[in-house]
A = this chain, B = another copy of it.
């Protein structure tokens, strides 16, 4: 039991440091905020949520590695984004509008998260208004990152996208399979295999 509380407190420390990079908080404010988060663990190859399910939470990742995955009509998987330590992830549309998920959140590694419900999210925003600024900063950051990724699809061929990925996320390349990387880059596994050979 002691171990449990220790772990939980460490998690909350990580969360607080993360938030305070954007807005500063009093102890009271943070204790109100943190009361809405719940810790949860997932194992490698587990889904946090699947397509078609409800998505009651947004997840703050403490450790591990997940992918946000879309399955198309042919059963093919497409990876929208990776999320790891210190990142927030969810199916944003499904979470905010309380709809069924169009994507799934899948763990590539054992992953520890703090989850926050929409109610908790709204309560936090109304009780600690500056948290709206925090979430706004995160949303803007996500939007900017998505635009960069759109550009990478329009501008450059698969080979250059691969090289960019190597430069930008060298630490990730170690942790994921080529199949997963191919799905993120939007090319077939075979094509990626040839790209990594020819340069």
Residue on B with the closest CB to A184?
B154
Residues in A74-132 with C-beta less than 8 Å from chain B? 76, 78-80, 92-93, 96, 125, 129, 132
CB distance from A111 to the nearest CB of B (A): 21
Number of interface residues of A (CB under 8 A): 31
B80 A147 Cβ-Cβ under 8 A: yes
Of residues 133 through 178 on chain A, the ones whose CB sits less than 8 Å from some CB of chain B are: 133, 135-136, 139-140, 142-144, 146-147, 149-151, 153-156
Would B125 and A92 count as touching, CB distance under 8 A? no
> How many chain copies does the complex carry?
2
Given contacts A72-B155, A96-B140, list 10 more A-B pairs with CB under 8 A.
A78-B155, A92-B143, A93-B144, A129-B129, A142-B143, A143-B146, A149-B150, A150-B150, A153-B153, A154-B183
